[in-house]
Structure 1
């Protein structure tokens, strides 16, 4: 199963129909175009496209977009707090595009270091991917895949926001603060990956 966010609305691609109101059986490329159009241009809050061969379905779906790959980290400290960045009024986790020749792990560590200014990181395991769709200024449709890793900060540096990337704040948050401060002002993908992180803890 794949969960892709289109304007913060969830598109679920699955083998069997999900228990949601709006479902489309996969009949080829046109089904996917209709699904994305409904989420982008109507009040439809979420949608499920289902078909027996989920890998064929996913392959057709990815061919509709330019695919951009990014990597990032869910970074915890010795107090069990998680590191967040604030950009354009939203709380987010540090992440960024993978550069040519980089591994996923290298990109994830580099992006966390650049966006938060902290260095003493231990990379632990891969958590999961998240997917979302957005439009470039030139109208090109992008499918962004972000690979998330669990990381541990073992230093004592104070995080510093990467201002030139539009980051206004970097902050450690405990679980209570995440629920009260972060969740009302973050993206659904971030909630998904945090729930995966907590499930594994």
Structure 2
């Protein structure tokens, strides 16, 4: 049975969308053949491909994604989109870009617990309330020349806005700051595709 699920895998500044139907508003993309698809070969070939958006149309995106996941190393992470009483949202500045606090799950740690822990560690604040799960995002990076798939689980959170924010410098974080929605253009102009997916839920 066909599924309508869609997976957007971010790979550096590029992305691969696995879907049962090409989104109507999509332009300037390259189609990718689903049959005999080898993700590692695709990943290596991206370096010489000038295109930035790739689309694979298939009957069962979930199964195709599972096939990719089964063949690469997978790291689970969790993080949060934190809102304060003034309606502002918490962002971190890490390695030259605006980002959201997140990190890898510890052994046997639950996703919700990891999300809160990472937010508190990276930003130096206490989370007042953990709300619903927002989304899962997928991005690929490289370890020892091999692609690694990071699956990040994002949760909505609440916190008091008058806390002293302390960036976790050892994680490359140099600034932690609250932003109002009307200032999100600053974030959007210098962030990652997966972060845009998360903040689209409040824009």
Indicate yes or no: 2:17 matched with 1:9. Answer: no
1:109 aligned residue (94, 116, 132)? 116
The normalised TM-score by structure 2 is 0.89
**Distance (Å, rounded) in 1 between the aligned partners of 2:119 and 2:137:** 17
> CA 1:17/1:25 → structure 2, altered by over 3 Å: closer, same or farther?
farther
Counterpart in the other structure of 2:99: 92
Alpha-carbon RMSD across the aligned residues, in angstroms, is: 1.7
Gaps (5+ residues) in structure 2?
1-5
Look up the SS of the partner of 2:32 in the other structure. strand
1:1-201 alignment runs, 5 A limit = 1-18=6-23, 19-20=26-27, 21-30=29-38, 32-33=39-40, 35-136=42-143, 138-154=144-160, 156-179=162-185, 181-198=186-203
Q: Which has the higher helix share?
A: 1
Gaps (5+ residues) in structure 1?
none
Which segment is superposed worse, 159-168 or 72-81?
159-168
Contact 1:104 1:147 in 2 (8 A): yes
**Distance (Å, rounded) in 2 between the aligned partners of 1:120 and 1:25:** 45
**Distance (Å, rounded) in 1 between the aligned partners of 2:161 and 2:90:** 13
Contact 2:85 2:160 in 1 (8 A): yes
Q: What is the aligned residue count?
A: 195
